[in-house]
Amino acid sequence: MADNRIALVTGANRGLGRSTALALAARGVHVVVTHRGDADGAEETARQVQSAGGAAAVLRLDIGDVSSFTAFVAELSGLLERRGDVSRLDIVVNNAGVGVFGPLEAVTLDDFDTVFDTNVRGTFFLIQSLLPILAQGASIINVSSSLSRHTSPATSVYSASKAAVEALSRTLAAELGLRGIRVNSIAPGPTATDFNGGAMRDDAEMRQSLAQQTALGRVGEPEEIGDAIATLASEDLRWVTAQRLEVSGGAFL
């Protein structure tokens, strides 16, 4: 069924971003796919969306480069207007992020800055930059991690950045509520993607170990996260804001 809403999905050239773009498109949402440099991957996502009967466009966006956001929003606005005289964005999925993992003594200042500049600073200022084109009643979904709830060795900086994303989400939900804009975070658990070099997808021993610590007895698949994000963005959950939805199959209970 045609929806005609428009979604921006950052980091949609692969993994959870691609799955999210496809899940939204399956619900009739038009998708703007962004990538930091993997144009081929982003175009492949767009092709898959279009092959399924959806509409997609591709733009380059480096979440870690806040100075580029003004030009990006101008480009996005022009794209929306050209593709149907629409200048309002209905859904924003802040999926793009980076993970640098290591024990306390191994983490460098550059490591710390890279993670927080992208996962926290970039997310915050992209939302700020998009405010002028956000529709009344828009939905913003910030991708966090189940690691904001449980602990795992060598994940301190990444986990802290995702906890910050959740705090931002709650506060921005209060700030933007009078415009009807919902802000939520979604926290994927162990999922078989190419994140962190595809370790969880490709390492059978790691998958088995994590499966044993998950209530549903397995790691997640990217499509399951994409479906959850698309559902959270839908009108079915229009009364849900300032919430953290964990999609982890009951990991580390």
Is the distance from CB of 173 to CB of 231 less than 8 angstroms? no
d(CA 246, CA 226): 13
Angstrom CA distances, 194 to 15, 44, 119, 168, 238, stand at 6, 16, 18, 26, 32
Show which residues are catalytic.
158
Q: How far apart, in whole angstroms, are the C-alpha atoms of residue 158 and residue 108?
A: 13
CA distances from 164 to 68, 87, 124, 158 (A): 23, 30, 10, 10
Pairing of strands 134-143, 6-9: unpaired
Positive or negative, the CA dihedral 231, 251, 142, 167 is: positive
- Burial readout 33-43 (b: 16 or more C-beta within 10 A, e: otherwise): bbbbeeeebbe
